[in-house]
Structures are given as C-alpha cells and as structure tokens.
C-alpha cells in the first residue's frame, strides 16, 4: 500500500490542512465545515490558511496532487509482456491504495459533489488532469481530440470505480478490482471506437487543411497582383 506521508514534505502546512479537512469530512457534511474548523483541527492559523488556499475546495485540489505524487513517486516495471490495459489497472489500483488513508472523509466529499454540480464540474477538471498522468505512467498517449474524449471517458469510469471502492469492506478489494476490470474492458471498446472515428475523419481533415492552404495561397496571389495603371491623358507619355 502506498504511503501518502512520503508524498508530503515534512512540515508541509498544506498537508496539515488536507488531513484536517478529510478528518472533519468523516464527521460531518462538507457544507457544515468552516475554514476556522479546519484551522482548529490542524493547529495552524487562519492567516496561514489564507496564504495556502483561497477556499475549502482548493484544499481538495491539493489532496489530488498529494495522491498524484504518491502514485508517480513509485517505480513501475516496464515489461513487454504487460499490455497497456494491465499497466493501467496496476496504476489505478495504486491510486486507490494512496487514497485509502482518506477513505472515510472521501465518502462525504463524493456525497457533497453529488449535491453540488458546479463543484463537481471543477473537481472533474482536476481528476481529468490527474488521470492524464496516470495514463502516462501506464505508457498510454492522451494527446489531441481523441485523447480528450478518452480522458473524459476514463474520468467517468473512475468515478464509478471509486463509488464501489468506498463501499468495499473486503481487505482484498475484490469488488473494486472486478469493477475496475469491467470498466477497463468497456474503456477498450470506447478507445477502439474513438480511434476508428479519428481514422475515418482523417481524410476529411486532410481535405479541409488542403482547401484552407489553397485558399490562403490564392488570397496571397490576389493581394500581390499589381494595381492597374491609371489611364493616361492625351499627350502624356
């Protein structure tokens, strides 16, 4: 299991606020937690909170980065025998390991996001960015328009896996692993569909690019055409 304390520098004030907020989330609704409560639980002043974060939601963004570091600090075996799917399965299970110390508080965070769609959209952007790095760790490309679709699909799949994980009391996480395996299988179908769509669209993109370049060249020639000379009056040379 990952040790998230290794991902937080010693004396990390931000980390103290993260720990305090997640402890409080295990006790009450997110909306009922005031910033002064976080300061009191962490033993750090309100002034230092203001210097570290603009809001409670920003504390959750910091938690996301802590989880990212805990996963990315680990060594990943790059075996030619492992498929991209197997490597991604391993990376995402390590992410759940890194999240484990915060599990009780994360139940309330997920419940709060269901109650607050605006906050859910902001958090989704952070999760998508984190998953970009999880794909990189698994050796999977996520660039371009197709990559954006794949990333958002993975974020939705990840939310379903996390929902199972939050209720999985088995130490071996058998239900969670089954859910992740199922989501990755469904994701492979999505990836094939997106790649096929991109392949089918590529001739049209090439045609459009060629037409745009031809139009630009035509405009350049038109702008370079010499102006007609004014008619000379009789007797002028």
Over 64-88, what HEC string results?
HHHHHHHHHCCCCCCCCCCCHHHHH
Residue at 145 is within a domain:
no
Could you tell me what percent of the chain has a pLDDT over 90?
62
Residue at 206 is within a domain:
no
Residue at 195 is within a domain:
no
- Residue 55 domain boundaries: 4-140+162-170
Residue at 216 is within a domain:
no
User: 49 in the Ramachandran plot: left (φ > 0), alpha (ψ -120 to 50) or beta?
Assistant: alpha
Q: What is the CATH number of the domain that holds 87?
A: 1.10.357
Residue at 48 is within a domain:
yes
| Cβ 201 vs Cβ 178: under 8 Å | no
Say whether pLDDT at 25 is over 70.
Answer: yes
Of 74-83, 93-102, 224-233, minimum mean pLDDT range: 224-233
Per-residue pLDDT, averaged over 112-116, amounts to 96
DSSP states of 182-197: HHHHHHHHHHHHHHHH
Q: How far apart are the first and last CA of the chain?
A: 94
Residue at 198 is within a domain:
no
| Cβ 194 vs Cβ 146: under 8 Å | yes
How much is the pLDDT for 79? Answer: 58
How much is the pLDDT for 201? Answer: 40
The more confidently predicted of residues 211 and 32 is 32
Q: How far apart are CA 196 and CA 182, in angstroms?
A: 22
Residue at 182 is within a domain:
no
How much is the pLDDT for 215? Answer: 55
| Residue 222 dihedral angles phi and psi, to the nearest 5° | -65, -40
Residue at 8 is within a domain:
yes
Q: How many folded domains does the chain comprise? A: 1
Of 53-57, 120-124, 184-188, minimum mean pLDDT range: 184-188
Per-residue pLDDT, averaged over 33-50, amounts to 97
Return mean pLDDT, the chain: 83
């Amino acid at each position: 299991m990952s040790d998230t304390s290794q991902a937080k520098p010693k004396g990390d004030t931000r980390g103290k606020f993260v720990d305090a907020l997640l402890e409080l989330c295990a006790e009450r609704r997110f909306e009922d937690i005031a910033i002064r409560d976080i300061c009191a639980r962490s033993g750090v002043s309100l002034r230092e909170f203001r210097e570290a974060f603009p809001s409670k939601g920003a504390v959750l963004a910091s938690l996301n980065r802590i989880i990212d570091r805990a996963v990315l600090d680990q060594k990943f075996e790059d075996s030619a025998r492992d498929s991209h799917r197997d490597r991604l399965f391993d990376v995402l299970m390590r992410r759940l390991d890194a999240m484990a110390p915060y599990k009780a508080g994360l139940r309330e965070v997920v419940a709060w996001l269901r109650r607050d769609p605006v906050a859910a959209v902001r958090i989704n952007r952070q999760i998508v960015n984190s998953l970009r790095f999880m794909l990189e760790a698994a050796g999977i490309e996520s660039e371009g328009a197709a990559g954006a679709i794949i990333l958002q699909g993975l974020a939705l799949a990840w939310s379903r896996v996390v929902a199972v994980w939050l209720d999985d009391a088995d130490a071996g996480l058998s239900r969670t692993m089954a859910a992740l395996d199922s989501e990755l299988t469904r994701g492979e179908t999505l990836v094939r569909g997106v790649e096929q769509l991109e392949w089918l669209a590529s001739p049209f993109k090439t045609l459009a690019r060629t037409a745009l370049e031809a139009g630009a060249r035509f405009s350049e020639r038109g702008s370079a055409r010499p102006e007609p000379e004014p008619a000379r009056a009789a007797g002028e040379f």
